[in-house]
Structures are given as C-alpha cells and as structure tokens.
Amino acid sequence: MLNWALTFLVVALLAAVFGFTGIAVAAAGVAKILFYLFLVLFVVSLIAGLARRA
C-alpha cells in the first residue's frame, strides 16, 4: 500500500512539473490518503503484535 502512495506522489510531482494542476492535486490527495491509511494499519498491526506477545 505504501508503494501505491509513493506511485501517486510521483504522478503528482510529474503532473505539477508539466502544469496539470488538477491532476497533480488529485494524485497528491490520493497519495496522502493512502499514506495515512498505511500508517494507521501499521500502528494497528504493531499494537496487535505486542498484545499477542503479552
């Protein structure tokens, strides 16, 4: 999932360089959402792993 976030980040940066502002904003928004989703899932799995050991 982090791979998708990085892919959309690269697409957003390329679109911004070429002046496609609408596409850049949309791709950056998707990248941000995917990154936060990845972060939440990572924290949940970390807590679940620690709870399983205890």
Number of separate domains in the chain = 1
Q: How confident is the model at residue 54 (pLDDT cuts 50, 70, 90)?
A: confident
Domain around 16: 2-53
How is residue 1 annotated by DSSP? -
Cα–Cα distances in Å, from 28 out to 6, 39, 43, 50?
A: 10, 16, 23, 33
Tell me the pLDDT tens digit for each residue of 1-42: 678 888 888 888 888 888 877 888 888 888 889 889 999 999
- pTM exceeds 0.85 for this model: no
